[in-house]
Amino acid sequence: MDSLQRQQPLPLLVLVLLLLVSSRFATGLEWDGVAITQNDLQGLQAIKAELTDRRGVLRIWNGTGIDACSGAWTGIKCVRGQVIAIQLPWRGLAGRLSSKVGQLVSLRKLNLHDNTIGGPIPPALGLLRELRGVYLFNNRFTGEVPRSIAGCVLLQTLDLSANSLSGSIPASIANNTRLLRLNLSYNNISGSIPAAVTRLPALVFVSLQHNNLSGSVPDTWGSSSSNNVSGFQLKSLHLEHNFLSGSIPISLSRLPMLEDLSLSNNELQGSIPEEFGTFPRLKTLDLSKNSISGSFPESLCNLSSLVELKLEGNFLESPILESIDGLKNLSLLDLKRNQFVGSIPPTLGNISGLSLLDLSENNLTGGIPVSIDNLTNLTFFNVSDNNLSGPVPVLLSEKFNSSSFSGNLQLCGYSAAPCPSAPPTYPQSLSTSPEHTRRRLGTKALILIAVAVFLALLILLFSFLFYCMIRNRAAKQSTAREAAARRGEKSGQETGSEVETGGDTGGKLVHFDGPLAFTADDLLCATAEIMGKSTYGTVYKATLEDGSQVAVKRLREKIGLSETRFDIH
């Protein structure tokens, strides 16, 4: 309770009342009248002797010690004359932790966090069979995590974080089958992660981040001797800021309760396992700053519970999937500094809770979808250093400054690069089409329309061509043709002179000798260049789709010529 004195007065009062009520039952705040055992008294005196107590918090640990268990000794709790808890956090204690702590055989909780105690963590802790909680974080302990800790078979919390521990994680930790919270983060622990850690069945929190761990992450998560996968409760796994290598362990996907997974700032390789799409509760996935390659797995889009996805600084190179809006609860999407290709999916605009979107330093092309303007909660947006083109959606350009858009040569419509104003000719109006058109239509639709318009123009051009030709020849030949039609002859049977009408506006197409059979439609698809002009008309060299070349003469109106003047090349 003393540890709470630094907090706000009002919550303090509430907490103190709560603690009074609960501790009365749990640990007997009222002294049970049994004097401390000689063994435990010696233990406490040794602990006091080795600590440096600049603030004099332990001055009261004096005299005969008859009242040590009465509540008079700061931070000590007893049951039947035996010390069950030492709680002295935030007391400015320095010095060392005496190995005589091993004499307190009934000790359940050792809480000395946020002091400046140094020296080794006494291996004698392993003698304490009743020990359930060890809270020594934020001190200056050195040396190794004692392997004797395996003796504490009831241990639930081992928090030695933020010290200067070195050495490796003892494999003997396999014995601590009740371990629920393992926090060795912010030390200098090296070596590899023992597979034993992955098999501890009761683990809920594992924090090994900010150490010097190396080797590959064991791929044995969620497997135990009993093979009771449903028994695995692991919620949070932090391994970031180490030197871990190898591939991302697929077995992680066997942990049904996992909410928080960080493997960032390591040297992991390989691809993101497809199996990662099966986490039912995952909220945070941080794989940033590794050497992960391959594609963005489609299954990942199934993680509807995901809130943060960080893949920054890897070598991922697929398109960003349209189905990314399966990540309905996503608030943070960081794909910075990869090699993502293709366009930004408009479906991103469906993820309404998105507040951070970083797609910078990739190989993205195409435009910024206007649907992004729908993301009203967006507070960070960055697409700089890609190959994006076209105009920036209006709201985005108003909300974010040019650093969000720079490094895209063909992107315009933001402060540093306004779009060219009125579209003077048709092809330009395609690339700088007005805002409202872009807003209604996706990029795909725009491309389709462009192709359609282009085709329509071609059809018009050729129709006009043949219209002129037909008008010319119709005058000459209509009487002969009508006669032939009346005889019921198929015009095609007349070798070398098949006539088609090219639609309402079209002219007539007259074939001459040769093996080629093509229609006016084929001509529409052909590329043509002018070969020569004469008084009768212009000769075009047309290359058909199948590669064959024909000469087409477009006759001027009212010039009659015999069919033999044409040649098929």
Ligand X SMILES: *[C@@H]1O[C@H](CO)[C@@H](O)[C@H](O)[C@H]1NC(C)=O
- Strand 82-87 with 76-79, pairing: antiparallel
Contact track, ligand X, 59-98, x by CB under 6 A: xx-xx-----------------------------------
CB of 349 to ligand X, least distance (A): 4
429 contacts ligand X (rule: CB under 6 A): no
* Candidates 82-90, 227-235, 420-428, 452-460; binding stretch for ligand X (CB under 6 A): 227-235
User: Rounded to a whole number, what is the largest CA-CA distance in the chain?
Assistant: 137
Q: Is 172 in the site for ligand X (CB under 6 A)?
A: yes
Nearer CB in complex with ligand X: 394/531: 394
Judging by beta carbons within 10 Å of its beta carbon (0-12, 13-18, 19+), is residue 4 exposed, middle or buried? middle
Q: Cα separation of 532 and 551, whole Å?
A: 10
Q: With respect to ligand X, which residue has the nearer C-beta, 202 or 459?
A: 202
**Based on CB atoms, which residue is closest to ligand X, 299 or 497?**
299
Query: Contact between 161 and ligand X (CB under 6 A)?
Result: yes
Shortest CA distance to 135 belongs to which of 167, 192, 89, 175?
89
Among 5, 304, 429, 534, binds ligand X (CB under 6 A): 304
Instruction: Assess 228 for contact with ligand X (CB under 6 A).
Output: yes
The whole-angstrom separation of Cα 145 and Cα 134 is 12
Tell me whether residue 142 or residue 247 sits nearer to ligand X (CB atom): 142
Q: How far is CA 414 from the centre of its chain?
A: 27
Q: How far apart are CA 476 and CA 569, in angstroms?
A: 25
For 253, the token pair is 């996907």
Residue 213 pairs with which residues in a beta bridge? 191
Cβ proximity to ligand X, 350 vs 548, nearer residue: 350
Which of the residues 352 through 371 are near ligand X (CB under 6 A)? 352-353, 363, 370-371
Give the shortest CB-507-to-ligand X separation in angstroms: 44
Position among 73, 186, 221, 512 found at the interface with ligand X (CB under 6 A): 186
Helical (H) or strand (E) element with 486? helix 443-486
* Separation CA 543–CA 524 (nearest Å): 10
Tell which one of 26, 34, 66, 231 touches ligand X (CB under 6 A). 231
Taking CB under 6 A as the binding criterion, the range among 42-50, 147-155, 425-433, 523-531 that sits at the site for ligand X is 147-155
- Name residues whose C-beta falls within 8 Å of residue 465's C-beta, 6 or more positions apart in sequence: 507, 554
CA distance 65 to 44: 10
Sites for ligand X among residues 46-65 (CB under 6 A): 59-60, 62-63
CA–CA distance, 498 with 504 (Å, rounded to integer) = 18
Residue 424, interface with ligand X (CB under 6 A)? no
Nearer to ligand X, 266 or 463 (CB): 266
3-state DSSP assignment of residue 354: coil
List 81, 122, 133, 151, residue binding ligand X (CB under 6 A):
151
Regarding 317 and contact with ligand X (CB under 6 A), the answer is yes
Minimal distance in Å, beta carbon 468 to ligand X? Answer: 46
Burial 558-567 (b: 16+ CB within 10 A, else e): eeeeeeeebe
Please state the closest distance from residue 325 (CB atom) to ligand X, in A: 5
Secondary structure of residue 410 in the 3-state scheme = strand
Q: Is 533 in the site for ligand X (CB under 6 A)?
A: no
Is residue 302 part of the contact set for ligand X (CB under 6 A)? yes
Other Cβ atoms less than 10 A from the Cβ of 518: the count is 20
Cβ contact 426:454 at 8 Å: no
Q: Which of 339, 389, 431, 497 binds ligand X (CB under 6 A)?
A: 339
Gap between the Cα atoms of 271 and 74, Å rounded:
54
Select 188 or 495, whichever has its Cβ closest to ligand X.
188
By DSSP bridging, strand 51-53 and strand 93-95 are antiparallel
- The strand pairing partners of 82, in sequence order, are 79
CB of 330 to ligand X, least distance (A): 9
Q: Is residue 404 part of the contact set for ligand X (CB under 6 A)? A: no
Binding of ligand X by 277 (CB under 6 A): yes
Q: Which of 245, 350, 431, 432 binds ligand X (CB under 6 A)?
A: 350
Binder of ligand X out of 116, 164, 291, 519 (CB under 6 A) = 164
Please identify, among the stretches 66-74, 153-161, 403-411, 451-459, the one whose residues bind ligand X according to the rule CB under 6 A. 153-161
379 binds ligand X (CB under 6 A): no
Per the listing, tokens 């282009």 go with 454
Q: Where are the alpha helices (DSSP H) in 314-442?
A: 394-399, 426-431, 435-440
Task: Compute CA distances 163 → 53, 120, 192, 229, whole Å.
Answer: 19, 10, 19, 33
- Residue whose token pair is 């195409």: 366
Among the listed residues 190, 223, 271, 443, the single contact to ligand X using CB under 6 A: 190
- In 3D, which of 106, 100, 92 has the Cα closest to residue 152? 106
Q: Footprint of ligand X on this chain (CB under 6 A)?
A: 59-60, 62-63, 137, 150-151, 153, 159, 161-162, 164, 172, 175, 181, 183, 185-188, 190, 205, 207, 212, 214, 226, 228, 230-231, 236, 277, 298-299, 302, 304-305, 317, 325, 329, 339, 341, 346-347, 349-350, 352-353, 363, 370-371, 374, 377
